């Protein structure tokens, strides 16, 4: 397998991870799983999709903040993707941070449901971009 094939395989894997994380969030939601876990899975769906995008550009980062910053610079500020996607990613990052590390109460189930919807739209937009359909 050459370098281009290896990158393409990894991009495909990251998109599969993103979609699986959405499925996991939906299963948690359907089974009355914790809203905190639903939000976590929804955020990670978005994160994996961004990793796929960055791989296409030959970039990788060790920290979530680096991934988000690179997404904003390379795709949103460059005008390749809408600002809404950046806002959604930042919102979900903060939401996950708050509920995983800061807040000691369970998030509202409606907030978790909205997170799943946001993640689905985000991942769909990234998949369309990667396939050349804006």
pLDDT over 70 (residue 7): yes
At 99, which CATH number? 1.20.120.330
pLDDT, mean over the chain: 94
Cα–Cα distance, 23 to 28 (Å, whole number): 9
Q: Which are the contacts of 89, defined by CB distance < 8 A and separation ≥ 6? A: 46, 50, 68, 71, 122
Full residue range of the structural domain in which residue 11 is found: 3-130
pTM to 2 decimals?
Answer: 0.94
- pLDDT at site 107: 86
What is the tally of structural domains in the chain? 1
Place of tokens 């955020």: 43
Q: Average pLDDT in the 128-132 region?
A: 94
DSSP state of 75: I
């Amino acid at each position: 397998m050459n370098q281009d094939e290896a990158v393409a395989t990894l991009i495909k894997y990251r998109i599969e991870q993103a979609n699986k994380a959405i499925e996991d969030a939906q299963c948690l939601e359907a089974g009355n799983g914790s809203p905190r876990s639903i939000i976590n899975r929804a955020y990670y769906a978005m994160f994996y999709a961004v990793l796929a995008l960055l791989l296409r550009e030959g970039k990788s980062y060790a920290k979530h903040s680096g991934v988000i910053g690179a997404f904003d610079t390379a795709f949103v500020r460059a005008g390749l993707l809408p600002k809404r996607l950046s806002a959604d990613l930042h919102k979900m990052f903060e939401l996950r941070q708050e509920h995983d590390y800061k807040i000691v109460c369970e998030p509202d189930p409606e907030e978790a449901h909205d997170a799943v919807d946001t993640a689905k739209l985000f991942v769909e937009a990234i998949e369309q971009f990667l396939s050349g359909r804006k």
